[in-house]
Chain A
C-alpha cells in the first residue's frame, strides 16, 4: 500500500504577536513548524503502516527550507520525502496549490499506485481546509474529510471505512480506495521520533522536484497565474483593546475573589445576572 501524506510548513501562529504600538506583525524569531493538524495525518499514516504495512511518502510544496518539515516527518517514521519547489509555484492560492500537489501525487503514482492520501484538516496559517478537497477532486479520489478514525481498511479489496465528524454527530462511511482523508486532530497521540529514524532523517536525500519534474507543463495552472483569487488589501484588525478590570489582586482567598466576581456581574450586568438567577433575592 502506498500512502502519501501532504504536509505544510507554517509559522507558529501561537507565537505571532502584533506590536502594541505600531500594530504590525512581529515575525522575528517566530519558528517554522509542521502544521500541527498535519502531525495527526502523519501519525495516522504511520499507524496504518504498523497495521497493514505501507510505504509512506511525505509531500510538501514550499521554499527549499521546507525540507526541514519533511525530515521531521521521516524522524517520526515516514519513508520518503518529496519537496515541490520552484519559483513558478509562488503566490499560489488553494486552487493552484491543489493542482500542483495533485500533479505530484499523480507522478508518485507512476512508481507505485497511490491508495491513500492523508492530510490535516486545515493549516494554521491559511485555515481554509480547501486544498484537501481540491486534490481529491482533481485526482478523482473519494473524499473523506474530518475523519476521526479509520475503522477498517482493506488494501487488497481496496475499501476503507471511516468515522467522520459531521454537524451533530458522526457519520460512518464505507467507500472505495483510492481516497483522500483529512484527519481530525486529537484522535491519537503523536509518537516520539526514534533514534534510528532521526539518523535516517538527517542522511536520507530529499527528492526535490521543480515544475517540470512534477510533470507540470502548463504554467498557467500554477502559482499566481493559476490562482483565480487575488489579495487586494491587507490590513491589521481594528484594535479594540479594553484592559480588563482586574479583580482580587489584594484579596486573600479564592472564595472571596469568586464572590467579588459575582457581585460585579450583578451590578454591571444586572439583566444577564437576573436571567442567570444570580440577582440577590
Chain B
C-alpha cells in the first residue's frame, strides 16, 4: 500500500476499461433508499437524494426513490417530498409486513425491486437501519457495497461509481469501484452530504409494486419499541452545539460537568471511542470514524486528544474549542481555540461564565 498525492492525477492500479457484460449493462438509473421510521423520513435520505441527483445528471439517467412501508397514504406523501428533492420516479411498496423495520421483509422487498427494475447505483444512509439492510441486500445480490462514503463521483471512462471513503481509522482515504457487478451499492453517513434545497412543485412518476410475503413467513416479531427518553435522545448528528468528552475526563462521574455545560447552552453530549467503550456514556453518543459524523456550529472537546479516528467525525464543525492538559495533543492542530488545562476546572468555569452572561442577557431582554 502506497500513499499518493491527492492532487496528482490518479494512476489507478485497479482501473480497467470496463466492458460490462451486456446483462449488467442493462442496469440503468440511480436509486436512493428512503429511510422511514415511525412515519418520519430520516434527513440522510434527502442528503443522498441531492447527491444522487448529481450522479444521475452525469449519467443522464433517472433518479429513483425507493419508499417502503405499511401506510400507502403516507408513502404517497413521502414520494411527493422525494420529487421536490430531485427524484424522477418513486418506487412504492406498501404492505403491512413493512410496518416496522425488520431485516427479512425489507431485504426481500428491496432485492425484489432491484431485480425487477435494475438500477446501476443504489445508495443508502449509513444509519443502523441502512447498514443492516445494505449488508443483507448486497450479499443477496452478490454485488459490491462500499460503506461510509465521503465522496461519490462517476468515472468518465466507464460510467462506474467512484466511492471514496476513509480507511485505517481515517488516516487514509481510498476510492473503491465495483467493476463487474451491478448495482453498485454505497452507504453515506448522515451529515456528510449537504441537505439540498427542496424545489416545491417539482413532480415525478410513481411505480407501485407489491411484496409477496406473508406475516407467517417472517420469523422476527417486534414486541415493543422503546422511544429514547430525553436524556437518551441523542440527535447528535444534527445538533448545533456539542460538548464531547474523552479519556482525559478521568472517570465516568466527571462527565456530569459536561452535561451541566450542555444544559446551559442547549447542547448534546458526545464522546470519543474509549469513553463509550468504558461505558461512561452510551454507545450512540460516540463521535468519530467508528461512531457518528457531526458538523455542529460549536464543538467543545474536553479531554479528547484528537486521534485521527475521532477527528474525521468532527472536523467539519464550524468552531472547535479544545480543552486538554497536554499542550502537544493533536487536537490543538485543528481546533479553532485551545485551552491547555484541566477540563475539570475549565468546563465548570465555562458553565458558570455562560450561566451568568446568559442570565444578564435574559434580564436585559
Binding site for B on A (CB under 8 A): 11, 13-18, 23-25, 36-37, 93-95, 98, 122, 124-134, 136-138, 142-146, 148, 161, 163-176, 184-187, 189, 227-238, 240-249, 253-255, 257-259, 261-262, 264-265, 269, 272, 276-279, 281
Contact = CB atoms under 8 A, between A and B. Distances in A.
A231 B10 CA distance: 12
Q: Which 8 A-B pairs have the closest CB atoms?
A: A13-B169, A133-B135, A244-B338, A281-B364, A228-B144, A254-B349, A230-B14, A229-B144
A230 B142 contact: no
A195 to B, nearest CB: 24
Contacts of B5: 235-236
A176 B178 CA distance: 34
19 contacts: A14-B307, A124-B309, A125-B167, A133-B139, A163-B226, A166-B37, A167-B127, A172-B222, A174-B221, A187-B279, A227-B144, A229-B177, A232-B10, A241-B333, A243-B333, A244-B333, A247-B339, A278-B358, A278-B361
A147 to B, nearest CB: 11
A278 B346 CA distance: 18
Scoring B176, B223, B339 by chain A CB atoms within 10 A of each residue's CB, the highest score goes to B339
Given A229-B145, A235-B6, A244-B338, A168 B15 contact: no
Contact of B129 (A166, A175, A231, A243): A166
A138 B143 CA distance: 13
Contact of B169 (A125, A171, A184): A125
B181 to A, nearest CB: 4
Interface string B11-47: 0111100000000000000000001011010100000
Nearest to A30: B168
B169 A14 contact: yes
Contacts of A242: 333-334, 336
Nearest to B342: A254
B144 A236 contact: no
Interface residues of B, number: 122
A13 B168 CA distance: 6
Contacts of A98: 139
Given A16-B308, A237-B173, A269 B138 contact: no
Scoring A133, A161, A176 by chain B CB atoms within 10 A of each residue's CB, the highest score goes to A133
A172 B223 CA distance: 5
B321 interface: yes
Nearest to B359: A277
B180 A171 contact: no
B317 to A, nearest CB: 12
A171 to B, nearest CB: 6
Contacts of B322: 244
B131 A173 contact: no
A130 B361 contact: no
A166 B128 contact: yes
Contacts of A129: 131, 135, 147
B8 to A, nearest CB: 9
Contacts of A228: 142-144, 178-181
A241 B169 contact: no
A21 to B, nearest CB: 13
Given A13-B171, A129-B135, A248-B339, A240 B225 contact: no
Contacts of B286: 185
Contacts of A134: 135-136, 138-139
Contacts of B336: 242, 244-245
Contact of A232 (B14, B309, B337): B14
Contact of B220 (A95, A128, A133, A175): A175
A29 B15 CA distance: 33
A200 to B, nearest CB: 26
A126 B144 contact: no
A18 B171 CA distance: 7
Given A124-B290, A244-B333, A277-B361, A130 B134 contact: yes
B4 interface: yes
Interface string B349-365: 11011100110111111
A265 B319 contact: yes
B220 A170 contact: no
A11 B3 contact: no
B166 A237 contact: yes
B132 A146 contact: yes
Nearest to A11: B168
A207 to B, nearest CB: 26
Contacts of B101: 166, 171
A201 B241 CA distance: 47
B6 A236 contact: yes
B337 A247 contact: yes
B118 interface: no
B333 A185 contact: no
B84 interface: no
Nearest to B345: A254
Contact of A169 (B173, B227, B346): B227
Contacts of B223: 161, 172-174
A52 B145 CA distance: 37
B159 interface: no
A127 B165 CA distance: 10
A258 B346 contact: yes
A246 B335 CA distance: 10
Given A122-B290, A176-B219, A277 B169 contact: no
Given A145-B132, A231-B14, A245-B338, A169 B225 contact: yes
